[in-house]
Each structure stands twice: as structure tokens, then as C-alpha cells.
Amino acid sequence: MTRRSVLGAFAATAIAAAPTFANAAGFLRGAGDIRRIKMYSGRTGERIDMIYWIEGNYIKDAVSELNYFMRDWRTDGVKSMDLRTVDIMAASHNLLDVSEPYMLLSGYRSPQTNAMLRSRSRGVAKNSLHMRGQAADLRLASRSVNQMARAAIACNGGGVGRYSGSNFVHMDCGQVRNWGG
């Protein structure tokens, strides 16, 4: 059996395993048989660089570590992140062809943190997907907000918000939509 036939079989399996995404082939482009995420938090100083999915399965310990990393650092509250959002983040990163890790600005947000942020900014949704563990706000020094947003939009897996004034992109696994400039 050749490497090409193994990868072809994997690709067929991976596409069948991702029915929740309208553009599964594009979403998984270049994913191979692993999915990896690289991030750091400027707030906590923590870094992760991990394979969290291999051969069609999420790695339980990696997902637990990822949930903790993406916690609400203000309250130390941890929520299980919706892995569809992490998949969008990883696929977008892959499409951008960068080795630089994302800077995570916000993952999970407790209702208290969301209310506090909402009182300070009109850009924070009352029923934010961050409170469900379904969203992340990210930045890359080597890519513009527009480049990051275009990569996330190409995944066709959820919402993408451009926040050029604050230099970050919002990615979520909610309805496919995009906003901002």
C-alpha cells in the first residue's frame, strides 16, 4: 500500500467524519492525519503547541489541556470548548501557512466576565458564543486581520469577525456569517 493510497483513504474518512461543515473538503485541506494547534496567552504567559486530533479521534488529554488553556483567566473558569471552533482555528492557521502561534485574546468567558466587558464595549454580544465555549478571539503578528479573516471564512464553518481597530479576528462555530472591517 502506497503513502498516497493511505492518505486518499484517510481523506475520504475525514470528510465523512465532518458532516457538520458545509465545506468539509476545504475545511480539512492540508490537515493530513493530524490536527495541531499552537497558541500563547499574553495574559497568563502560557503556551501550547499540541496535536489534539489524530486519525479521526480527538486526544482526550490534549482536549483537557486545551480547555484549561482557553479558560476565562479572570475567573479561572474552565468550560469544554466546542472542538468545531478549535478545528476552524487550526484549519485557518494551516491555510495561512505560518509557524507563528496564535495569540489567544479570549476563549471561554464566564457570564460575569462577558457582562463586565459588555459594560465597557458595544462590540461584546449579550449572548456571546464565548460563554458557550464556542468562540475565540485571535491575533497573529505576521498576518493582517483581513488575511486571517479570509482564511477563517474559507473554512465555511462558522462566524468570522474582523476587528481591525483592535487587531484581532473572532472565530466561532455558530452560523456561517462574517462582519467587521
What pLDDT score does 31 carry?
Answer: 53
Q: Which of 1-5, 71-75, 116-120 tops mean pLDDT?
A: 71-75
Percent of the chain with pLDDT over 70: 82
What pLDDT score does 123 carry?
Answer: 80
Distance CA 89, CA 95 (A): 10
What pLDDT score does 10 carry?
Answer: 40
pLDDT category at 181 given cuts 50, 70, 90 is confident
Question: In the block, which residue shows the cell 456561517?
Answer: 176
pLDDT digits (tens, 9 = 90+) for 68-109: 999 999 999 999 999 999 999 999 999 999 999 999 999 999
Nearest residue to 39 (alpha-carbon basis) of 97, 86, 102, 98: 102
For CA atoms 173, 179, 143, 42, give the dihedral sign. negative
For 90-153, the DSSP string reads: HHHHHHHT--SPEEEEES---HHHHHHHHHH-TTS-TT-GGGGT-EEEEE-TTS-HHHHHHHHH
What is the SS3 assignment for 39? strand
Question: In the block, which residue shows the cell 484517510?
Answer: 10
Question: In the block, which residue shows the cell 494551516?
Answer: 94
Q: What angle do CA 128, 67, 64 make, to 5 degrees?
A: 155
For residues 110-120, give the mean pLDDT. Answer: 93
pLDDT, greater one: 170 or 10: 170
What pLDDT score does 34 carry?
Answer: 92
